[in-house]
Chain A
Amino acid sequence: MAFFLIKNSIKNMFKWLEKNLPKIVLAPAVGLISWFVYGFVLWTFYISFTNSKILPRYELWGVGNYGKLWASHKWLVAVENLFIFTALFLIFCTVIGIILAIFLDQKIRAEGVLRTIYLYPMALSFIVTGTAWKWILNPTLGIQKMFIDWGFESFTFDWLVDREMAIYTVVIAGVWQSAGFVMALFLAGLRSVEDEIVKAAKIDGAGLFTVYWKILIPMMRPVFFTSFVILVHISIKSYDLIVALTQGGPGISTTMPAMYMTQTAFHKSQVALSATSAIMMFMAVSAVIIPYLYSELRRENAS
């Protein structure tokens, strides 16, 4: 009897297993992401309301850290830099990306080679490219010397060590790294447009410029949206490039939020304040990403 019961329950167990196998296979991913993404973000959120210094403390302390953060000069510099960087990064990447995509779309010879050249920076790490740009932009032996040796005696280019201008060197390197990506997105978008539309417009007497300006570019609205979201996302998370290029300097002139966060946590041992800055970054990213995911999902459901 007992044997029969055991055998039956094992049989039931197998049946249950078989029925729920897909969900069991799904469980590790869902479990890991719940814990390591959502759980951790909540933990950081909670810590931002405590008075933790080197080690986390769990007694609630209130919203003081938020006041402290927004009163901190360094944080305000970081946020200002983020706005400057994001605005210029967006404009230059988008303009260069669109120009390259449209030009490459004209049945260009050696298109493959050119595309490979435009996009290779994306395969390199920001540390590698930051190291290269730091060498190129250094005032003693870099670009400045190149122009002086070419005969432009009074040429100066010392942005890298100039407090006011250093943030623009980050823009130069950032745009160089990411513009090819925008080109790839737009090229894919342009290639998905039916040839007939362009031909019909040409027959109606529209020039090439009009075809792009009036018809194709307006059709690229979703691509604009996608590249906007990705570029803003990259710029909010910018960290490696600044570490390699300027270390946030000269002084604190090129500090950005991501750098503020790690420095506050690991050099200044202000864990709660650091968590607060991380939450501000999280909120900024969410404000861009959630509408994006929502619209993507709606588009997918509609098709």
Chain B
Amino acid sequence: MQVKTSLAAYTQLEKKSKLTNMLLRWFLYFVLILFASYFIFPLYVMIVTSLKTMEEIRQGTLLTLPSELNFESWGVAWEGRGYGAGDTFLKPYFWNSIKMVVPAVFFSTFIGAMTGYVLTKWRFKGDSWVFLFLLFGCFIPFQAILLPMARTLGVLGISNSILGLVVVHTVYGIPFTTLFFRNYYVSVPTELVKAARIDGAGFFKIFFKILLPISAPIIVVTVIWQFTQIWNDFLFGSTFSFGEAAPIQVALNNMVLSSTSVKEYNVDMASAIIAGIPTLIVYILAGKYFIRGLTSGAVKG
């Protein structure tokens, strides 16, 4: 009875404020769309600028549309003009980034999965301290490890190489991948593992037969997270590589800064889009998993 009256009171209240509600909603949508345009504005400007000729850029404003779809700047950004020395373009560096990202994502995800598995399903005294010990690695400012890392890569003979960057990204990805898998496996009932152990299943069999088959969501989250982080990295790339071994973000920055005579904003914008497209596509296709990574990893550096 109590519940019924309060429900009635509630619906009455809803009715009364219908007009204010409508005004409020208009205001809501107005603010939301205003902000949406603020967020979309740079992307719009990038795309439009990349399709214009320099002449059109000088005549129009940021917002004016190009007179025709002109992909010439994209070609220049991707393949250059073909006059040899001094002609920098993104194609080789794009492949550098792919060669760097694929192994680094694979190894860091695999190690994180194993570590998360041990820390939740083969618990031992002090395991939460081990987790904390690893977790702190998510937060260190990388400036504090830059100098010794440069020395170490030199000693190992892999400075200024893609292999060197794979090692760096794998190592500094481990704290994040461990965090993801550990937090996921914590919610998997330990009874499953215990029963399997009684049946005589070993360490690896339990992992591959029981945990791995239900790990798809967290693998997707981790792979997307690591892919985005490593693809977008600039600090490691610019510190540990130069010239031909540079990843795409470094090449993009060099291209934009080093254009000699006339600034070609259309080529700059095409280059920026090319460097951003892979992560943008992943975000659009799998935004849900991207957001899950962001809010559970909750760090971006």
Interface residues of A (CB under 8 A from B): 18, 21-23, 25-26, 28-30, 32-33, 36-37, 39-41, 43-44, 47, 56, 96, 99-100, 103-104, 106, 108, 114, 116-129, 131-136, 141-143, 145-146, 149-150, 176, 178, 180-181, 184-185, 188, 199, 202-203, 208, 226, 230, 233-234, 236-237, 239-240, 243-244, 247, 257-258, 261-262, 265-266, 271, 274-275, 277-279, 281-282, 285, 289, 293, 297
What's the count of A-B pairs with C-beta under 8 Å? 267
Cα separation A262 to B257 with both chains bound (whole Å): 18
Interface residues of B in 136-161 (CB under 8 A from A): 136-137, 139-149, 151
Distance in angstroms from B89 CB to nearest chain A CB is 15
Tell whether B223 is near chain A: CB-to-CB under 8 Å. Answer: no
A126 touches B145 (CB 8 A): no
A119 touches B291 (CB 8 A): yes
A56 touches B239 (CB 8 A): no
Give every chain B residue within 8 A of A243 (Cβ-Cβ): 234, 238, 253
Cα separation A33 to B140 with both chains bound (whole Å): 11
B61 touches A149 (CB 8 A): yes
Tell whether B35 is near chain A: CB-to-CB under 8 Å. Answer: yes
Cα separation A297 to B62 with both chains bound (whole Å): 49
Cα separation A143 to B62 with both chains bound (whole Å): 7
Distance in angstroms from B185 CB to nearest chain A CB is 13
Tell whether B135 is near chain A: CB-to-CB under 8 Å. Answer: yes
Cα separation A142 to B276 with both chains bound (whole Å): 21
CB closest chain-A residue, reference B252: A127
Cα separation A96 to B34 with both chains bound (whole Å): 12
A281 touches B141 (CB 8 A): yes
Contact pick for A30, options B10, B134, B144, CB 8 Å = B134
B134 touches A121 (CB 8 A): no
Contact pick for A37, options B24, B136, B298, CB 8 Å = B136
Interface centre among B45, B128, B147 (most CB of A within 10 A): B147
Tell whether B25 is near chain A: CB-to-CB under 8 Å. Answer: yes
23 A-B contacts, Cβ less than 8 Å apart? Answer: A23-B124, A26-B130, A29-B111, A106-B28, A116-B287, A122-B283, A122-B300, A127-B272, A128-B232, A134-B256, A135-B269, A136-B45, A145-B61, A202-B10, A203-B10, A233-B139, A240-B235, A244-B256, A275-B147, A282-B141, A285-B140, A293-B132, A297-B132
